[in-house]
Amino acid sequence: MSETKAPRTGREPDPESESWRKLPWRKFEQHVYRLQKRIFRAGQHGNTQAVHKLQKLLTKSRAARLLAVRRVTQDNQGKNTAGVDGVKAVAPQQRLILAEQIHPKQWEGNQPRPVRRVWIPKAGKAEKRPLGIPVMLDRAHQCLIKLALEPEWEARFEPNSYGFRPGRCAQDAKEAIFNAIRYQSKYVLDADIAGCFDNISHTALLDKLHSYPAIQRTVKAWLKAGILEDGGFHETIKGTPQGGVVSPLLMNIALHDIERAIREAFSYKESVPQLVRYADDLVVLHPTEAGVQKAKHLLETWLSTMGLELKPSKTRITHTLQDYQGQVGFDFLGWTVRQFAVGKTHTGKNPRGRPLGFKTIITPSKEAVKRHTADMKVVIDRNQHAPQEKLIEELNRVNRGWANYHRRTAASKTFHACDQLLYLQLKRWAKRRHPNKGGHWIANKYWHVDEGQGWQFQSQQAKLWKHGQAHVQRHIKVKGAASPYDGDLLYWSQRLKQHPLCNGVKGILLRKQQGKCRWCELLFQDTDVIEIDHITPKSEGGGEELSNKCLLHRHCHDERHARRVNGICAKDPIIEEPDEGKLSSPVCAVRRFEIFLLQTGGTREMFLSHQLTRRRKPNGTRAC
């Protein structure tokens, strides 16, 4: 007669999840990063044989395979989105199995599953874009291959390519444009590639990839895997599915050398054009109209070799200062770039201090403001009958993200206008909730006087965050061809503190923690998912003060809370001073070390020294 196992309570540790959490993740991160640095340096020196040898070593490494699985099953936003097999939210024990399945020896002969196609709306447009979702096994394998391929291509990519690359963002592309026109007005070719992800030639892409046979076969299999939509199977004869882990890297590889091809076609006397590209959006800047027309022809010819073409409705020629075909300036990535003729008191100056007669100003575009106000209206209408705290929480999320993206431009007037419009929307929201009440009653219920800031839309638990609170400041462009794989961690950790999306609380905590995660003590990187954690949970009396907050990786955040629920950290935190008997308890000691680590960022040696000092009297006798 077989014995039945007693059910495990929520407080007991799960052996499967414990085995996953107890893996030496910090050593794995360091090992993989060392290999990636070696691949990057070999790529810089043009040593293809060493690059391929190191890539084989990386893909076979257990550390890289486990990290790839953790990224797609814990860190990725789409971890709960299933592919054609319906698998999502992979449990810890299955993660270990998944890491073994993506070993190169296990993968030989395996055919990738088709991607599941869904259609998502484009921002501010009626049309939709196709999104291909691979199965979890293929996602993990793609992430592993990306870990090996990305350092090689980061050493080769052109300096003015900014989209879908680690350590680079849209604000860097904006600053590159500003630097190109700050001293001279220029003609602009504002171009967009039609269906870039969906139309890349497989043959041309694989020829340009030119990796060793195992990766070539694997990437080709992904490209030819097919699409499953509405129960029907469709072959893929071109394009790379937008939604795959490795798809953005493959797109950048396909568009590599486009800048060099255009620049080499111009002589020094013609003035070499400047090209700035963010993913499939690009601009070409040149002092003459003929130069821009020539660049457009060269661009169309080069794209045809990759099976691509320019989108006529989004490709046009304009000028940054003068009226050209009824238009001045251009829109790029949600900003309007334009130069204005001004007098001697407001004009920009060249490096010698001579006045230019114009000033370059970059502001949020009208379309971007229109989309944002529509998003605010959707949030307000959706919360017509919700509590004020819930409305404030959702509005703050929308407003912070939009303002942080645009605060590196001349956006002060735009922010003020958005705040004025938001006030009118909220006034209408309050009036609809209380149609029979007067204006004074409504104002006193939802708006309260805040010392030094006047009337604010707030409640006892929440306060509305206004656009004007995002202080406008200049963005510092990334250095030339710098990459996170070059080993200069100090430079990249300093840049992360100034990242446009790491302002406010995150920026303060990053500086306080010196750019390190308080759990694993590794430096944050640009590709990491960073979350704010409350040391003492709000459900147990913790507040919103900075001393009760710290920054953790998403996987470190999950691990910390899992340990609190299932293991030694179930009681969180210990407020009272423990007595002598409690001080000898291993559970209490580990918990105190966790709190000390989160609050101070210290090491185990610093913690032991702190405990020894705290438990002794000044005269050297032990404290009771």
pLDDT digits (tens, 9 = 90+) for 53-74: 999 999 999 999 999 999 999 8
Least confident of 144-148, 275-279, 340-344, 607-611: 607-611
pLDDT at 124: 64
621 band by pLDDT with thresholds 50, 70 and 90: very low
528 band by pLDDT with thresholds 50, 70 and 90: confident
SS3 454: strand
pLDDT at 583: 36
SS3 471: coil
* Average pLDDT value for residue range 264-273: 87
Checking if the pLDDT of 6 tops 60, the result is: no
Backbone φ and ψ of 457, nearest 5°: -80, 105
CATH superfamily of 160-201+241-327: Reverse transcriptase/Diguanylate cyclase domain (3.30.70.270)
pLDDT at 517: 83
In DSSP terms, 448 is beta-bridged to: 456
Give the chain's length: 624
> Nearest CA to 532 among 418, 425, 400, 363?
400
Using one digit for the tens of pLDDT, what is the confidence trace for 453-481? Answer: 788 999 888 889 999 888 888 888 988 88
Checking if the pLDDT of 118 tops 80, the result is: yes
- The contacts of residue 593 (CB under 8 Å, 6+ apart) are 604, 607
* Average pLDDT value for residue range 123-138: 82
Checking if the pLDDT of 598 tops 90, the result is: no
Rounded Cα–Cα distance for residues 91 and 82 (Å): 14
Rounded Cα–Cα distance for residues 61 and 564 (Å): 31
pLDDT at 585: 39
* Average pLDDT value for residue range 446-450: 88
pLDDT at 268: 82
Using one digit for the tens of pLDDT, what is the confidence trace for 12-48? Answer: 455 556 688 888 888 998 899 999 999 999 999 999 9
Higher-confidence residue of 423 and 344: namely 423
pLDDT at 503: 60
Higher-confidence residue of 105 and 212: namely 212
Least confident of 103-117, 215-229, 316-330, 574-588: 574-588
* Average pLDDT value for residue range 541-566: 76
Rounded Cα–Cα distance for residues 87 and 89 (Å): 7
Using one digit for the tens of pLDDT, what is the confidence trace for 361-405? Answer: 999 999 999 999 999 999 999 999 999 999 999 999 999 989 989
- Check residue 65 and report its DSSP letter: H
Higher-confidence residue of 416 and 125: namely 416
pLDDT at 10: 41
Q: Could you tell me whether strands 115-121 and 227-229 are parallel, antiparallel, or unpaired per DSSP bridges?
A: parallel
pLDDT at 493: 75
Cis? peptide before 586, omega within 30° of 0: no
Terminal C-alpha separation, the chain: 55
Higher-confidence residue of 1 and 179: namely 179
Cis? peptide before 287, omega within 30° of 0: no
pLDDT at 229: 84
Q: What percent of the chain has pLDDT over 70?
A: 84
pLDDT at 622: 37
Checking if the pLDDT of 264 tops 50, the result is: yes
pLDDT at 610: 56
349 band by pLDDT with thresholds 50, 70 and 90: confident
Residues 484, 490 contacting (CB under 8 angstroms) = no
- The contacts of residue 566 (CB under 8 Å, 6+ apart) are 10, 11, 12, 13, 14, 17, 18
Rounded Cα–Cα distance for residues 429 and 128 (Å): 31
SS3 605: helix
pLDDT at 491: 82
Enumerate the CATH 3.30.70.270 domain ranges in the chain, comma separated.
Answer: 160-201+241-327
Higher-confidence residue of 426 and 244: namely 426
- The contacts of residue 84 (CB under 8 Å, 6+ apart) are 113, 114, 115, 116, 135, 228
Residues 407, 471 contacting (CB under 8 angstroms) = yes
pLDDT at 216: 93
DSSP H/E element including 557: helix 554-566
Within its chain, how far is the Cα of 208 from the centroid? Answer: 27
Q: What percent of the chain has pLDDT over 90?
A: 46
pLDDT at 4: 37
Higher-confidence residue of 577 and 110: namely 110
340 band by pLDDT with thresholds 50, 70 and 90: very high
In DSSP terms, 116 is beta-bridged to: 133, 228
Higher-confidence residue of 551 and 528: namely 551
Using one digit for the tens of pLDDT, what is the confidence trace for 194-226? Answer: 888 889 999 999 999 999 999 999 999 999 988
Which residue type is seen at 578? P
